[in-house]
Every structure is written in C-alpha cells, then in structure tokens.
Amino acid sequence: MSLGLTYDGCNFFRQRLVLSTLSGKRVKIRNIRSKDDNPGLRDFEASFIRLLDKVTNGTRIEINQTGTVLFYQPGLLYGGVVEHECNTQRSVGYYLEALLMLAPFMKNPLKAVLKGVTNDPTDPSVDQLKYTSIPVMKRFGIDGEGLELKVVKRGMAPGGGGEVLFTCPVRKTLRPIQLSEPGKIKRIRGIAYSVRVSPQMANRIVDSARSILNKFIPDIYIYTDHMKGDKSGKSPGFGLTLVAETLNGTFLSAEQVSTPQGQGDPVLPEDLGRNCAKLLLEEIYRGGCIDSANQSLALVYMTLGQQDVSKVLLGHLSPYTIEFLRHMRDFFQMMFKIETQKPAEDERKGGDKVLMTCVGAGYTNISKSIK
C-alpha cells in the first residue's frame, strides 16, 4: 500500500479527495476548522464524501468525534446509476465538478441524478458546466451518445429543489491535446433563466446584456428559460449564463445569479445583465483555450492522458488552479512546464497567457468491462 499524504485544514477539500481517488493514495486531513466556534466538517463536505462513497467500491472513510480529522482510503471507481441529494449550502456544481473529473475512469458508465440547488452565486452553475466543461471533455475524446448534462428541474438558492441528470461514457485512455490557438470570437450564446418570478425578468436581463455586447459582435442569441410548476424548485430567482465561442471551438463563459432570497440586497435584472456582459468581456480578455472555470479539469485530463505531450494555452491561472498544480505534484509527481506569453501591444489579444505543457502519466482505466 502506498504511503498516504497528510494535509492541514479544510481548504481545497475536493481537490484532495478527487486526486486521492484517482491516484489510489490515501489521504489524511487534520485540523479541519479546529479553531472555529463550530469545528469539523460542514454538512456539504460530508455530503460530498457520501457522493464519493456512492460512486466507488471499497472506500474506507474514518472521521473522528469532532469531525476535525478525516482519513480517506480510496476504493475502485465503480460508477453505475447514482442518485444523490446534494446539500443546499452549496450548489450541484460543487459536486458535479468532481464527478466530471472522475467519470471517464469508472468501471461502468455513470448515470448520476443530483438534486439540490442548481444555481447559486458561489459555485459554477450547471448551465456553465454544460456549455463549457462538456466541450472540454469532447476535446479529450470523451464523447458519443452517452455524454449528457441536463437540467431537469431548476432550483435556486437557498431552497433548492432542482434536479440534474449527468451521464458519461467510460474511456480506456484519454487523447492528448495540443491547444495553443484560441482564435477569434465568432458568436455569443447564453441562457437567461427565471423561476418563481415574472417571466419578464429574463427578457429584461437579455436586453441589458445585449446593450453592451452588441457593440462588439452581431451574432448574439440569448435563450430565455422560464420553468414553471414543480420544475421551478423552491425559491425565486433569476440569472444569466453567457458563453462566447471562438473560431477554433473554444468556449469562454461568465455568469451571474440574483441574490438568494433573504440573503442581502435584491438585484435588478438590468444590473445583472450588464454585470454579466462585463464579466464575459473580462473572461475574453483573460482568454486562453480553456476558460478559467475549467482550467483544473483540463489539467487533470492532460495529466491522466497517454504518455504523450499535451499542450494547452490558458489565460491567467486562478489561485485555485495554482493550488491544484501543487496537489498534482503531490499525488501524481506531475510537473508542468509553464511558459508565459505576452501578447504584443498592437495585437489586441488580451492579457498575458500561460502555455502549459506536460507528458501524460499513461493512466489507463483498469476495469475489464471496456471493449
């Protein structure tokens, strides 16, 4: 048995458990909020551990009395049909991001039904993952009939009541990628959603977002999505997810969600639309071939690819991604070659870029059932 790794604190909790599950190295996390008035694991973290337990077989988890120490010994990724009630403190995106990393390496194709909050201000929404993460997965050769992410019911924070279906095929190995040219933006798509408020809200969001984006590009289409009845969850709210697509098939996204009921000042749909449009322009300025929400997903797939060189051009590395790279080194001894690229003044290519290069670890799915 490989020697485990030990960490301190509750930060980057998902990263550690996901990489532990993929690498098969056990992990011990100490001092989880030990100085807090309410020490130990939060409910949403316990729920995350339960989800990992459902998709694996033979995982051993030990938590001490106060919940400040967690010992996690990963089992085999099993997959199959899973239904999970996500904690409403965090959105379904929090749980889904981890599943996206694990899904291709399961023994059986994953079919997961996650219930809870589909859109909240802190985590990436299901819509954003659908429009940006799924194309990233396709780049690595995870595609076909079985790959789908669908919002069955919408649930806004804080009440939740949403439902998401995620299915993913399994792959023996992943394709290496070379993505160094993001290309120019050719169109902008988006979805403005509203639940348990006037359907007019979505139209107001669209108008205000277009007022900014129309100055740059004519090909803009923002769908409005107003779910009614039992599909609308338990809380009122509205939001907007925007996606810019480039000529080379890169997707950059931004999103904004209304303030959850009873958690602060209400937000006007006009302001929300404008802010979201500005966030999208900021994301386009950062640029790269993978948007900032999916940097770590792409890096995992590159690490676990065949023993071949993968290259990807990213925008500014987010602090989360930087920490992720450190964890990669711990779990997989994987080091990336990082080169910064400064676009010339007259090129108008946005901010500084980072070219990440690595040789895959030659990770293969060990399950027999794959043809």
Residue 182 token pair: 């993001």
User: pLDDT tens digits for the chain (371 residues)?
Assistant: 457 899 999 999 999 999 999 999 999 999 999 999 999 999 999 999 999 999 999 999 999 999 999 999 999 999 999 999 999 999 999 999 999 999 999 999 999 999 999 999 999 999 999 999 999 999 999 987 899 999 999 999 999 999 999 999 999 999 999 999 988 999 999 999 999 999 999 999 999 999 999 999 999 999 999 999 999 999 999 999 999 999 999 999 999 999 998 888 999 999 999 999 999 999 999 999 999 999 999 999 999 999 999 999 999 999 999 999 999 999 999 999 999 988 877 777 788 999 999 999 988 887 755 55
Quote the tokens at residue 23. 């690498």
Please tell me the predicted confidence (pLDDT) of residue 370. 52
Residue 193: CB partners within 8 Å, gap ≥ 6? 119, 127, 154, 202, 224, 225, 226, 227, 238, 239, 240
How high is the pLDDT of residue 168?
96
Residue 258 structure tokens: 């209304």
Tell me how far apart the alpha carbons of residues 353 and 315 are, in angstroms, rounded to a whole number. 5
Q: Alpha helix (H) ranges present in 6-77?
A: 13-23, 43-55
pTM value is 0.94
Instruction: Look up tokens 């980057």; give the residue.
Output: 12
pLDDT number for residue 1: 47
In whole angstroms, what is the distance from residue 65 CA to residue 159 CA?
Answer: 29
User: What confidence score (pLDDT) does residue 368 get?
Assistant: 58
Predicted local distance difference test score (pLDDT) of residue 369 = 56
Contact 84, 54 (CB under 8 A): yes
- Position 233 scores a pLDDT of 92
d(CA 287, CA 182): 8
The position carrying tokens 């997959």 is: 79
- Please tell me the distance from the alpha carbon of residue 188 to that of residue 221, in angstroms, as a whole number: 7
